[in-house]
Amino acid sequence: MRNYRHIEVRPIAGALGAEILGVDMARDLEDDVVAETRQAFLDNLVIFLRGQKATPQQQLAFAKRFGEPIEYPMLQGLPECPMITPVIKLEHERSNFGGIWHSDTTYLSAPPMGSMLLALEIPPIGGDTMFANQYLAYESLSDGLKKTLEGLIGVSSSAKADVTRTREDRVKSAGAERKLLTAEHPIVRTHPETGRRALYTSDAHTSHIKGWTEKESLPLLEFLWEHQTRPEFTCRFRWEVGSLAFWDNRCAMHNPINDYHGYRRVMHRITLAGDKPR
């Protein structure tokens, strides 16, 4: 295990995920603290901060220490801070935003490097988020299947991303123009910072394999989607008000669990720019 001098890192599961102590995102952090926090992010794929009390501007300033914030496609941000997108499920809604295993917005040509989510209001029970390690998902495949996947390109579509009615409702209520977005990415990508290989496909976004029909693609893709989220590849995070999760979309998937009907859940999300997967 890596030694850290300026922060404390507490892993929460064998596969991925760690809570970080010694970081207050409302403060102007020293470069050494930021550097170690980023290393913890790369080592653990998703990191969690507890007890954070930050304004939207402070959350945005914190995010800028790790990357370039970008607007979420088709949705409006906060009026006072457009780079922060409210993620809200109201008491009467039955569907939650992005309620399926996925890596964020892979229908973009350069999908986000990471995402930060800060909890403002949470239900009394439920509403946890699960994460899955896609390095382990790839590394545990047989040599034969790895060879089969070499060079395969997945086609992602924003039309398939509308698996939750809440996403459609948010676009309509914001008065945003709904656009069809598509992108092509390798089924197996190489992380640009760690050099490790990871599966990069999801039921939420991948419509088919390039050069294959959807019917031909489905058996292989369905196997991968089930394999990617095996319990031994996952961790589960229980939110508290003031909790922040920062995950690496290049090697981790996530799934917000929709088990809190009748309660309100309010989050502030920042998306960080990434590069074209290779």
The residue from 167, 189, 254, 265 that is catalytic is: 254
Active site residue 261: no
- Residue pair 119/269 in contact (Cβ under 8 Å)? The answer is no
Spot the catalytic one: 104, 185, 197, 265: 104
Active site (annotated) includes residue 102: yes
Query: How far apart (Å, rounded) are the C-alpha atoms in residues 256 and 276?
Result: 25
Contacts of 245 (CB under 8 A, 6+ apart): 46, 47, 48, 116, 117, 129, 237
Q: Using alpha carbons only, what angle is made at residue 41 by residues 248 and 195, rounded to the nearest 5 degrees?
A: 70
Write phi, then psi, for 173 (nearest 5 degrees).
-65, -30
The position carrying tokens 């009394």 is 124
One-letter amino acid for residue 48 of the chain: F
Whether 227 is catalytic? no
On whether the CB atoms of residues 155 and 207 are closer than 8 A, the answer is yes
- CB-side neighbour CA atoms (13 Å) of 19: 13
What is the number of residues in the chain?
A: 278
**By C-alpha distance, which of 7, 5, 19 is closest to 236?**
19
| Active site annotation includes 191 | no
Phi then psi dihedrals of residue 109, to 5 deg? -65, -30
Out of 191, 197, 250, 269, pick the active-site residue. Answer: 269
277: alpha, beta or left, given left = phi > 0 and alpha = psi -120 to 50? beta
**Catalytic residue ranges:** 102, 104, 254, 269
